[in-house]
């Protein structure tokens, strides 16, 4: 039976009547057990009822990020590292993969419900792999089922320069934020990506007939229009929060450009489907000859530092991180208002590149969140100002009986 982690919503993501009047419900991990998970052979973490802020400390390579990654696998997706599932299984001192695949088991509290989650490496195929999922002892076929009981958002050092990195990284980031409001978004993205790959292969190899290509173009139209709509609606919600919010962090001015956003935003869903379908149909010849084709897979997320009047991509690492934090905080507030829930918040090395003023501002924002927040750092002193409200875990104590190579 599903817990009340997300209100009942249709594929379009409309929030149930009266949700805005409810106090937001957060997600809290009460117990997590790691088996053959990177450098954790067999480790168990029990957390007290009042452990709302978890701080993982330890030297570089001790396994802080590994534990954070395990927590991220309680939600849909490929975790904070976006890793292949087969790469997560631990290795011994000789760097050989251990005999049994990795697994994570947890008990979480979501609102008034206590839920058991189990996940681990499932089947490994030549072209794809999947993870197994159990919710309250019942096997689930789709990762989307996890999104009904546990969601998570995160910030990692790899994202510190998100706004000046590759566009694909920003799209993945935006799609994770969008998934919180539109429960079918990840599935729509996967269906679109599969159709796009097959469409491109048929054209490049010259092996597809017109009917086959037309069927794929209808699929691209159907899911492309849904993806564009969901991303755009998420943008509207976050822009509202960023405009109205009061925070010590800089305000990011966000926009989605390219990939047909200029004309899709003017169309209703039915017309948008037809427009995307037509776009791919007209692109057959140029793509087959080695050209490129745009679409929702090439949309660009751009950010602007309002106070500085500068593109985020040109800002320092510290300023980019501050902008990213402001976006995440706006997302959390929008989610609380519109879905009645808050996700787990996972912050890896979050104090790096933040000055004292912004560290304290972040801790104040975190203290106001009614959900569990996990943070990592090499030393406790980096979390000065948070001590009384935090539950500290030295990860070396967890890995003493787990003699395998760390990858944090």
pLDDT in tens, the chain (408 residues): 223 233 334 444 444 333 444 457 799 999 999 999 999 999 999 999 888 999 999 999 999 999 999 999 999 888 999 888 888 988 755 455 556 789 999 999 998 899 999 999 886 655 677 889 999 999 998 888 888 899 899 999 999 889 999 999 999 999 999 988 888 898 899 999 999 999 999 999 988 789 999 999 999 999 999 999 999 999 999 999 999 877 889 999 999 999 888 888 889 989 999 999 999 999 999 998 888 899 999 999 999 999 999 999 999 999 999 999 999 999 999 998 988 889 999 999 999 888 889 999 999 999 888 899 999 999 888 898 886 678 999 999 887 754 433 344
Contacts of residue 235, Cβ cutoff 8 Å, sequence gap at least 6: 254, 255, 256
* Alpha-carbon span 249 to 357, nearest angstrom: 10
Backbone angles phi, psi at 283, to 5 degrees: -95, 0
**Residue 20 pLDDT:** 45
Q: How far apart are the first and last CA of the chain?
A: 35
* Alpha-carbon span 107 to 80, nearest angstrom: 20
110 beta partners: 27, 113
**Residue 16 pLDDT:** 39
Spatial CA neighbour of 86 closest among 51, 42, 131, 118: 131
HSE value, Cβ hemisphere, 13 Å, CA-based, for 333? 20
Q: What is the DSSP string of 259-312?
A: TTHHHHTTS-HHHHHHHHHHHHHHTHHHHHTT----SGGG-EEEEEETTTTEEG
Q: Looking up tokens 């594929």, which residue turns up? A: 11
* Alpha-carbon span 59 to 406, nearest angstrom: 11
Inter-residue contact 106 to 33 (CB < 8 Å): yes
Angle in degrees, 0-180, between the axes of helices 210-244 and 185-205, rounded to the nearest 10: 140
Contacts of residue 320, Cβ cutoff 8 Å, sequence gap at least 6: 160, 161, 162, 163, 164, 312
Alpha carbon of residue 78 to chain centroid: 9
- Where do the DSSP E strands lie in 216-328? 252-257, 300-305, 310-311
* Alpha-carbon span 74 to 79, nearest angstrom: 9
Q: What Rg do the C-alpha atoms of the chain give, in angstroms?
A: 22
Inter-residue contact 305 to 323 (CB < 8 Å): yes
**Residue 21 pLDDT:** 45
* Alpha-carbon span 254 to 302, nearest angstrom: 6
Inter-residue contact 371 to 63 (CB < 8 Å): no
At residue 45's C-alpha, the angle toward residues 398 and 124, to 5°, is: 85
* Alpha-carbon span 404 to 89, nearest angstrom: 10
Which contiguous run of DSSP H or E holds residue 114? strand 113-124
**How many other β-carbons are positioned within 10 Å of the β-carbon of residue 106?**
21
**Residue 133 pLDDT:** 94
**Residue 263 pLDDT:** 83
**Assigned token pair, 17:** 């009547």
Spatial CA neighbour of 408 closest among 18, 19, 4, 61: 61
CA dihedral 18, 20, 24, 25 (to 10 degrees): 30
The 3-state DSSP composition of the chain as helix, strand, coil percent (nearest 5) reads 40, 20, 35
- Please report the domains of the chain, with CATH numbers, ordered by start residue: 1-151+344-408 (3.40.50.300), 163-340 (1.20.1050.90)
* Alpha-carbon span 318 to 237, nearest angstrom: 25
């Amino acid at each position: 039976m599903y817990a009340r982690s997300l209100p009942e919503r249709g594929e379009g993501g409309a929030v149930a009547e009266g949700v805005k009047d409810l106090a937001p419900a957060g997600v809290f991990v009460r117990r997590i057990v790691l088996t053959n998970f990177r450098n954790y052979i067999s480790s168990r973490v029990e957390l007290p009822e009042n452990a709302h802020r978890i701080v993982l400390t330890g030297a570089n390579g001790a396994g802080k990020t590994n534990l954070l990654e395990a927590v991220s696998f309680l939600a849909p997706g490929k975790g904070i590292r976006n890793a292949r599932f087969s790469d997560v299984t631990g290795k011994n001192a000789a760097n050989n993969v251990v005999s049994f695949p990795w697994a994570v088991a947890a008990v979480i509290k979501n609102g008034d419900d206590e839920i058991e989650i189990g996940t681990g490496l499932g089947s490994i195929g030549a072209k794809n792999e999947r993870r197994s999922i159990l919710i309250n002892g019942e096997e689930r076929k789709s990762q989307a089922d996890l999104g009904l009981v546990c969601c998570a958002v995160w910030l990692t050092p790899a994202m510190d320069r998100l706004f000046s990195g590759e566009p694909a990284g920003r799209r993945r980031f935006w799609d994770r934020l969008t998934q919180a409001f539109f429960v079918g978004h990840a599935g729509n993205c996967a269906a679109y990506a599969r159709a796009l790959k097959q469409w491109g292969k048929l054209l490049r190899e010259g092996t597809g007939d017109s009917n086959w290509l037309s069927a794929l173009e209808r699929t691209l139209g159907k899911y492309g229009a849904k993806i564009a709509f969901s991303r755009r609606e998420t943008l509207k919600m976050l822009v509202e929060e960023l405009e109205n919010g009061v925070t010590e962090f800089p305000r990011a001015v966000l926009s989605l450009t390219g990939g047909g956003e200029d004309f899709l935003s003017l169309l209703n869903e039915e017309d948008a489907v037809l427009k995307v379908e037509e776009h791919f149909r007209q692109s057959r010849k140029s793509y087959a000859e080695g050209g490129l084709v745009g679409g929702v897979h090439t949309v660009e997320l751009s950010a602007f530092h309002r106070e500085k009047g500068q593109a985020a991509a040109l800002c320092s690492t510290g300023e980019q991180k501050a902008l990213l934090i402001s976006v995440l905080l706006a997302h959390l507030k929008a989610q609380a208002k519109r879905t009645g829930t808050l996700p787990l918040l996972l912050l890896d090395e979050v104090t790096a590149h933040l000055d004292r003023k912004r560290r304290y501002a972040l801790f104040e924002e975190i203290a106001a969140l009614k959900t569990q927040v996990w943070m990592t750092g090499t030393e406790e002193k980096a979390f000065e100002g948070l001590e009384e409200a935090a539950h500290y875990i030295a990860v070396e104590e967890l890995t003493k009986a787990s003699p395998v190579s760390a990858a944090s």
